[in-house]
Structure 1
Amino acid sequence: MEGTVQIGRAIDQHQGNGVSIHRGIPNNCGKDNEKRETQSEAERRIPRKPPGMADNGGMAVYTTPDPMELAALCRRLGLGAPEALQPVAAGVENSTWFLSLEAAGSPATEREWVLTIVEQADVEALQFPAALCARLREAGLPVPAPRPDPDGTLVHRLAGKPALLAPKAAGRHVLDPGAAHCRAIGDFLGRMHGQPPPANVAPRENPFGLAWMARAADRLATCLDAADRGLLGGLLTRYRALEQTGALPRGIIHADLFRDNALFEGERLSAVIDFNSACIDWLLLDVAIALHDWAGRADGGFAADRAAALLGAYTRRRAVGADERRAWPEVLGIAATRFWVSRTLAKLDDVSELTGREQKDPAEFRTRLLACRAAAGIPELPETEG
């Protein structure tokens, strides 16, 4: 087949089934290449050429699963035999594949899956996000849940690394969202924030919260000019002060609900994906992160119609208190800083050498931070809705 690599001979040696690896990039799987960095990850980041990195046309796939081991995992999960793997253009930390199963022994609803092999996190770090996805799915939210094994385990192992297998959701990423798309995102966040944390798993603090940002500021001290060091230092001071008040409600948050982590069929939200940053933190921070991407303009301002749609839908689901309303401009600034800093770190580490994808410009979110500091054109949180 043109555009694929057949590895049947290697699989025959394992007495497995023939699996083809596709080199093409699907249209609906673009991801933000400035993905996350916890402090420990930033320090040991990624070697310039990771050992064992698969040659997949420059895409961010580092680990190719052994066919026999993959087939054994599918059997353990009660699924059919693997037929084809297609690498997904994703972030720099995980190996992500679209997995197709053979038609024989696989119902039509269980033929297409997303396989994620996590390169730089241990099993424990994934327990909360995996359990949260399962919890949200049970609550009726459009979140693909990881497939459990007979023991109920959600995080598996492939090639000696943690792995997740979830159904491939229908829909496409929306590159130019309208008010209806933003309304759906606000409604999702409001519904999600009304859910309790998953049971029987330890809560997870924000891996990109205040402590991470302070460490990142130390690392960037010699890279930023005096003005930017002052800008970041001032934000950190206000962040600490707001954290110390303990006034903002906390709960489960996605923490990365950008456009490339949502799928739509028309104007209907069909799935929210990539919960790897999910944690317990300010609910308002989740709203701020989403608003920046779904309603933000290139000049640092916000599109009024999209912002009103997202925030209005959110407040119809969850009332926002007076403390949150007062802190709103500051929380928007904290959200902008999180991505200004992570993109600056990604640029410093030259992540594009690994992904083969153009890096995101840190200046975009620096501009957003400055706009938030000016408090000009910041959309207000509605008092009540409905």
Structure 2
Amino acid sequence: MAQYTTLSPEELTDIVSHYAIGNILLLEDIPGGFGNSNFKLTTTKGTFLLKICDEKNIEELRMQIELLKHLQQHSYPTVYPIPLKSGDMLHVTPDYNVMIYPFLEGKTPDPSQKILKQIGSALARLHSISPLTGLPGFPMGMTQITPFLEEMVNTNFYSHPFITWLNSELEWIRPELDKTLPKGLLHGDLFLDNTLFDDDKMVVILDFEEACHDTLLIDVAMTIIGCCYTNKHQLDISSVHGFLNSYNALRPVTDEEWESLDCFVHYAALSIAFWRFRQYNIRHPNVQLADIYQEMIARSANWQSIQF
């Protein structure tokens, strides 16, 4: 998907010199991802994921590293960054910030009940881990949407059909977001491409860059939007049932949460649609990706209330 930063041979050599990971053999672009530049780095000591952190500032990246250390203490199944020779986990330069991870073999799965049962258990386990002090609220939600809409008022974008749709949806969603529901540690962006499977067995949950402390139902709904639809954006009902049953077995969903689930599914889709619209129409205009926000609108429209 997005590729924001490229590396010269000299820049790559400098980065690798700060790590005890051997000598460079090959660097390959990795397609996919919306907020970073990712590369597969092969050296004389193995294969690694080299990530240029294009979206987050140093303070945000430091918080992300502290969260990963926190998750490691709980033996949570994710991938952890490789330290530099200095012991730090973030390589900082004037032009970009770098994190290097082990490169794990596996694939992004297709939705199925078996796959989503495992994701449900993994998410419930995450929600049982206490959040770190200082984590932000949901970063793609109202704290970003509200100022964005204010900024759009006197621009040509304000008459765009997406802005009209966004305002219309928020009229009925906003009151639901004010309800008092359980809060905790969220992944924040649990789509299928943020999981890694070996055949039909889960290896890890990836990319905690949007991790936050907020309403747990946001994560439940986001996982439905991100993991329970086909590549044609049709809802896979059996996957939803597998996910919710597995999650509920470990972290029982309250009656109030069940009542609000429909709204939060639409809110999750709206939040991702907002991020994509802003990213590829305003922040980093990209003709090929300008309409990708419409996938989330389609998923929202194809949601069906689930009875339990």
Normalising by structure 2, we get a TM-score of: 0.86
Map 1:1-386 to 2 at 5 A.
33=2, 59-64=3-8, 66-75=11-20, 79-91=21-33, 93-102=35-44, 106=45, 111-149=46-84, 153-158=88-93, 160-174=95-109, 176-198=110-132, 202-220=134-152, 222-223=156-157, 229=163, 231-245=165-179, 247-296=180-229, 302-349=235-282, 351-352=285-286, 361-371=292-302, 377-380=304-307, 382=308
1:71–1:341: structure 2 CA closer, same or farther, 3 Å change rule?
A: closer
Structure 2: gaps of 5 or more residues: none
SS of residue matched to 1:114: strand
Aligned 8 A contact 1:61 1:88 in 2 = no
Cα RMSD (Å):
2.8
Distance across 2 between alignment mates of 1:177 and 1:243 = 28
Alpha-carbon distance, 1:251 to partner: 1.4
Alpha-carbon distance, 1:210 to partner: 0.8
Distance across 2 between alignment mates of 1:361 and 1:236 = 20
Aligned 8 A contact 1:210 1:236 in 2 = no
Distance across 1 between alignment mates of 2:162 and 2:57 = 34
Aligned 8 A contact 1:192 1:252 in 2 = yes
1:233–1:332: structure 2 CA closer, same or farther, 3 Å change rule?
A: same
Distance across 1 between alignment mates of 2:261 and 2:142 = 17
Structure 1: gaps of 5 or more residues: 1-30, 34-58
Distance across 2 between alignment mates of 1:238 and 1:122 = 34
1:90–1:305: structure 2 CA closer, same or farther, 3 Å change rule?
A: closer
Larger radius of gyration: 1
Cα-to-partner distance string for 1:144-188 (whole Å, 9 max, x where unaligned): 0112346653322246422211111220112x3221111111111
Distance across 1 between alignment mates of 2:290 and 2:122 = 29
Q: Give the aligned residue type for 2:15.
A: L
Alpha-carbon distance, 1:189 to partner: 0.6
Distance across 2 between alignment mates of 1:92 and 1:226 = 23
1:378–1:299: structure 2 CA closer, same or farther, 3 Å change rule?
A: farther
SS of residue matched to 2:19: helix
Cα-to-partner distance string for 1:37-67 (whole Å, 9 max, x where unaligned): xxxxxxxxxxxxxxxxxxxxxx554344614
Distance across 2 between alignment mates of 1:180 and 1:291 = 14
Aligned 8 A contact 2:235 2:302 in 1 = no
Distance across 2 between alignment mates of 1:359 and 1:272 = 28
SS of residue matched to 1:145: coil
Distance across 2 between alignment mates of 1:85 and 1:188 = 32
Distance across 2 between alignment mates of 1:347 and 1:72 = 34
Runs of 4+ that moved beyond 6 A: none
Alpha-carbon distance, 1:216 to partner: 2.8
Normalising by structure 1, we get a TM-score of: 0.70
Distance across 2 between alignment mates of 1:219 and 1:80 = 48
Aligned residues with identical type, % of pairs: 21
Alpha-carbon distance, 1:143 to partner: 0.3
Aligned 8 A contact 1:155 1:163 in 2 = yes
Cα-to-partner distance string for 1:260-288 (whole Å, 9 max, x where unaligned): 11111011111221221111121111111
Distance across 2 between alignment mates of 1:287 and 1:314 = 9
Distance across 2 between alignment mates of 1:352 and 1:227 = 18
- Aligned residue pairs total 304
1:194–1:223: structure 2 CA closer, same or farther, 3 Å change rule?
A: same
Aligned 8 A contact 1:186 1:313 in 2 = yes
Alpha-carbon distance, 1:248 to partner: 1.4
Distance across 1 between alignment mates of 2:292 and 2:57 = 29
Distance across 1 between alignment mates of 2:74 and 2:117 = 20
Q: Give the aligned residue type for 1:204.
A: P
1:61–1:88: structure 2 CA closer, same or farther, 3 Å change rule?
A: farther
